[in-house]
Amino acid sequence: MDASESRSARKSRTRQALLDETLDLVAERSFASLSLREVAKAAGIVPTAFYRHFASMDDLGVTLVEDAMRVLRRMLRDGRRDLAARAAVPTAANSLAIVVRQVRTNEAQFRFLVREQHGGVSEIRRAIDTELRLFVKELAIDLSRIPEMVRWKADDLELAAELIVTVMLQAVADLLDSRGPEDDAELIARTERKLVMVILGMNSWRTEP
Amino acid sequence: MDASESRSARKSRTRQALLDETLDLVAERSFASLSLREVAKAAGIVPTAFYRHFASMDDLGVTLVEDAMRVLRRMLRDGRRDLAARAAVPTAANSLAIVVRQVRTNEAQFRFLVREQHGGVSEIRRAIDTELRLFVKELAIDLSRIPEMVRWKADDLELAAELIVTVMLQAVADLLDSRGPEDDAELIARTERKLVMVILGMNSWRTEP
DNA sequence: CATTTGAGTGAACAGGTGTGCACTCACAGT
DNA sequence: ACTGTGAGTGCACACCTGTTCACTCAAATG
């Protein structure tokens, strides 16, 4: 074996291998259908060595959620750079573009999130749900900075944010099983139009009981 | 054994038992994690007898999708009785009420649909996707009958239908892991407001390239 | 009444599963 | 240089998996 690596470096390397290989496997089947032996073999270690890194498959799953959510949050931070934007529509289109790019460079992670959002293990589901709610709240704050909706009530802002996140999430899911780039292009165009529709609705929204 | 049943009646009864027990099991875990032996035992038959009814678990899964979708379509047909409705908003609220009622009386089926829409087996995913697309098309036709949007282009109608279905689906998913009726009430209220937002957007939608 | 049909049985198979245990042996700390 | 640590090994266990095969035996068909 290669002795040019420190012990702890080697450890975190196989740990990462376990996570990566699991993501790869989850691309085609659900997390719940994976076996410990399977991911261990994929990572190039013997089944029992798995326990040196995770207490169980569920434990590994939760770690996977946390990692994926870190990506999601970084994405949101990137999107917030366009905070100075004036009009809502171009901002939305821009945000969608960012989402698309992030999905494409982190396919496995997003696929995992979409897969496990409603499926399988309840602990994982709860973790995703919590993070998503946080995501909505942050988007609501961003929306409040857009001149057109600066006087909206907080509750209405959150509602709009939920709506937008729902549309975006649907787009992510669709993106993940699109075949070919012309499929992508149409999907993006449709999503943009949907967002415009939503924004139009937001514009003519008059706060009434 | 009870001889008061015809042979084919008994057969379809155990077939239904297989489907029902599978739905019960799927309430807590994903379909992919179920084993043939497990559902066979739950249905009270020996594993090999399973094959008298389904060629495989995937086959059973697809049947489950079809059944659940029949429920969904019946729901749509019920909703279509209000086709004579004039304004879009009350119609939407009414439709939502119907959806809520259907979800409550067919929890297991809807839970299955939500779970497997993005999860697990690709054949099942495809089946759900196909049926959902059909659902959107029918809703688009319904929308075209609303006076306010009678002159819309088909493509725009479908877009609006997609948007509405997405919002409704999200509501179904939320409804399925809500705890308590006051949770439900708030959720329904929020969804209604979201639908109003979407409809407002549809109203001020001017068909431009 | 005699015969065919077919839902359900039970044993057997080859293989996969999680986990316990005793082990190696290269590295890290003294 | 001596020793302890700990990532990774290999074997073993008891159990669960899908599928095969030859079978029963009551209902349906003639």
Encoded tokens for B76? 């749509």
Q: What is the pLDDT of residue A33?
A: 94
Q: Which residue is nearest to nucleotide D10 (CA to C1')?
A: A46
A205/B200 touch (CB, cutoff 8 Å), yes or no: yes
Residue A49's alpha-carbon distances to A38, A56, B174, in angstroms, are: 13, 12, 39
pLDDT band at A173 (very low <50, low <70, confident <90, very high): very high
Report pLDDT for B72: 86
Rounded CA–C1' distance between B37 and D18, in angstroms: 9
Spatial CB neighbours of A183, under 8 Å, sequence gap ≥ 6 = none
Nearest-angstrom CA–CA distance, B163 and A195: 9
Q: What is the pTM of this model?
A: 0.91
Q: Which of residues 7-66 of A touch strand C (CB under 7 A)?
A: 7, 35-38, 47-48, 50-51, 56-57
Nearest CA-CA distance, residue A110 and chain B, Å:
12
The answer to whether the CB atoms of A30 and B33 lie below 8 A apart is yes
What is the pLDDT at residue A85? 56
Return the pLDDT at B184. Answer: 97
Given this model, what pLDDT does residue A146 score? 85
The predicted model gives A61-78 an average pLDDT of 89
> pLDDT, tens digit, for every residue of A106-142?
999 999 999 999 987 888 898 899 989 998 999 899 8
Choice between B7 and B37, residue whose per-residue pLDDT is larger: B37
Q: How confident is the model at residue B94 (pLDDT cuts 50, 70, 90)?
A: confident
Q: Distance (Å, rounded) from C-alpha A147 to C-alpha A89?
A: 12
